[in-house]
Structure 1
Amino acid sequence: MAELEPALARTAWRTAEPIHGMIYFVPEAHQRYAALGLRDRMGYFASRAAAFGPVGAEAVIATFFNFNPALVRAAIPEAWRIAAPEDILRTRLEAADAALRRACGPDLLASPEMAEAAGLARRAAESASEHPEGRPLFAATSALPWPDEPHLVLWHAQTLLREYRGDGHVAALLLAGFSGIEALVLHAATGVVGAEVLRRTRGWSQAEWDAAADRLRTGGLLETGDEPGLTGTGRAQRQWVEERTDLSAVPAYEVLGSAGCARLVELAGRISRAVVEAGLINVPKAA
Structure 2
Amino acid sequence: MHEDTAGSAERRFWRAYEPVHAVCYFHPRFASAMAGTGLTGFWNGYFAGRAAPLGRTPPEAVAALFFGFSLPMVAKAIPKIWTRIEPEAAVGARLEAAEAVLAELAPEGSLADLRRVADGLDRAVDALPFDGRALAGAWASVERPRSPLARLWLAATVLREHRGDGHVAAATAHGLTGLQASITHVATGRVSRAAIQGNRGWTDGEWAAAERALVERGVLESAERLTADGAALRARIEEATDRLSGAGLRALDDPAWTVRTLTALSRTLIDRAAVPVPNPIGVARP
User: What TM-score results when the alignment is normalised by the length of structure 2?
Assistant: 0.91
Q: Describe how 1:54-133 pairs up with structure 2 within 5 A.
A: 54-104=56-106, 107-108=109-110, 110=111, 112-128=112-128, 131-133=129-131
Aligned residue number for residue 7 of structure 1 = 8
The letter of the residue matching 1:140 is A
- Tell me the number of residue pairs that the alignment of Structure 1 and Structure 2 aligns: 273
Q: Which runs of 5+ in 2 are unaligned?
A: 1-6, 281-286
Q: Distance in 2 between matches of 1:152 and 1:32?
A: 14
Please state whether the residue corresponding to 1:274 is helix, strand or coil. Answer: helix
Identity of aligned residues (%): 37
Unaligned runs of 5+ in 1: 1-5
Report the counterpart of residue 238 of structure 2 in structure 1.
242
**1:37–1:83 contact (8 Å) kept in structure 2:** yes
Q: How far, CA to CA, are the matches of 1:96 and 1:200 in structure 2?
A: 26
For residues 165-219 of structure 1, give each alpha carbon's deviation from its aligned partner in whole angstroms, at most 9, with x where no partner exists: 0000000111011111100000000011111101111111222212211111111
Residue in 2 that maps onto 1:174: 172
1:205-244 pair list within 5 angstroms? 205-225=203-223, 228-244=224-240
Write out per-residue CA displacement over residues 73-116 of structure 1, whole angstroms, 9 at most, x where no aligned residue. Answer: 000011111111111111111111121122126633x3x21122
- CA offset digits 1:101-145 (Å, max 9, x no partner): 22126633x3x21122212222211111xx110000011110111
1:182 maps to a residue whose letter is Q
Task: Verify the 8 A CA contact 2:124 2:251 in the aligned structure 1.
Answer: yes
Deviation of the 1:36 alpha carbon: 2.6
Q: Could you tell me whether the CA contact under 8 Å between 2:218 and 2:230 is conserved in 1?
A: yes
After TM superposition, the structure 1 stretch with the greater mean CA deviation from structure 2, 180-189 or 99-108, is 99-108
User: Which of 19, 38, 49 is 1:47 aligned to?
Assistant: 49
TM-score, normalised on structure 1?
0.90
**2:251 corresponds to which residue?**
255
Root mean square deviation, CA, Å: 1.7
Structure 1 counterpart SS, 2:220: coil
